[in-house]
Amino acid sequence: MDKTQPGSKSKPFHLTTLFKQENQNSERKQVTYRIPALIYISDNQTFLAFAEKRKTADDTDADVLVMRKGIWQDEVVEWNSGHELLTSACQPNRRSMNPCPVYERDSKTLFLFFITVPVGVSEHKQIHKNENQAQLCYITSKDTGKTWSHITDLTADVIGEQVKDWATFAVGPGHGIQMKSGRLIIPAYVYPCHPLNCKPTSRAFAFYSDNKGSTWHVGKLMDGESCECQMAEIIDDKGNSTLYCNARSTSGHRVEALSKSDGEHFDKLSSEHKLTETEHGCQGSVLSFAPDQAPENTWLLYCHPTNPSKRTCLGVYLNKTPLDASGWEDHKLIIHIGPSGYSDLAQCGDGKHVACLMECGEISYVEGIAFALFKLGDIIQAKGAE
């Protein structure tokens, strides 16, 4: 089994490669793994790492979702050998994309949300034609990924007629959350249909459920451009809850917004632009946690490539006052200094460690997907350690 141990701010982080690009010499193609999603289930100290298995690196060559399982014990994660194909997350002649897991704690049910799209149909083609062909789907597991249910397609029941107004949509990618109230949140984004010859604009929103995933609803779209996103629950010192969204954009900065209605709608986008976006945009991950220094509050972590011009140098930022978007600290903890792309964060069972599943490589960020551990103390004390 592969083993992963936590790193520290004073030395390079140990990365355990879970999915690696594979040469297919007969066809001169490289099977590529992209779009990481990570979840930790404390009931049995298990990490589940998900990704898309693609025939090439291209989005239109996505094929099937894959999973690896790791057990956390004594500050070490032991990973099973090889990955599993999630064949139950498949529909005929369609590709499965954008894994987005969430765990319902009362029923102990793991939901894995994703979209399916017809083989060969690109996001660009759907947007160009104003014709959505994506489907909203999930599978569930009650035994931490040992077995999975049949696929459930929610498109007609949840999105319904308004799908006619959507050019295309997707979930996440990366983890969803369950709020203190029990509400399940699946982050998502949509390209609403647009007048011909007009530039389409993506908008983030949330799917949510208040009955342990039995039925789902569509939240209102955010005002202004916002694309791939993740969400986190912020608890203040009075116990009040606010849902935070951090989204990709093409504006040169990250989009941040707050919801006092637990994702049914979001307030106007933050005017603070402290988090720089990378190149034409890149997915990023957010995670809330209760620090030892202020256990009645939650702080926020944000993971993203730190280079503003290209996808490289993956770093983690900290905000100790997460209701204020100006509170992001300038220093960050660098996890991987080379090419880096999409990522997903999860907190470990002891509350003192955080895991990151990331696209990374030496020459290109599509070379593989790796797992790293770091201590919360590393990011809290990261000033001057870049």
19 touches 70 (CB < 8 A): no
Cα four-point dihedral sign 101, 367, 202, 125: negative
Give the SS3 label for residue 42.
helix
**Strand 16-20 vs strand 22-24: parallel, antiparallel, or unpaired?**
unpaired
Which one-letter amino acid corresponds to residue 343? Answer: S
372 touches 11 (CB < 8 A): no
- Check if 302 is active-site: no
Name the active-site residue from 359, 365, 367, 378: 359
Which one-letter amino acid corresponds to residue 195? Answer: P
CB-CB neighbours of 240 under 10 Å: 10
Name the active-site residue from 33, 191, 342, 365: 342
- Check if 59 is active-site: yes
Name the active-site residue from 2, 59, 75, 329: 59
- Check if 317 is active-site: no
CB-CB neighbours of 92 under 10 Å: 6
Give the Cα separation of 256 and 304 in Å (integer): 14
Tokens of 317: 């930022």
Tokens of 141: 């597991």
Active site residues: 59, 342, 359
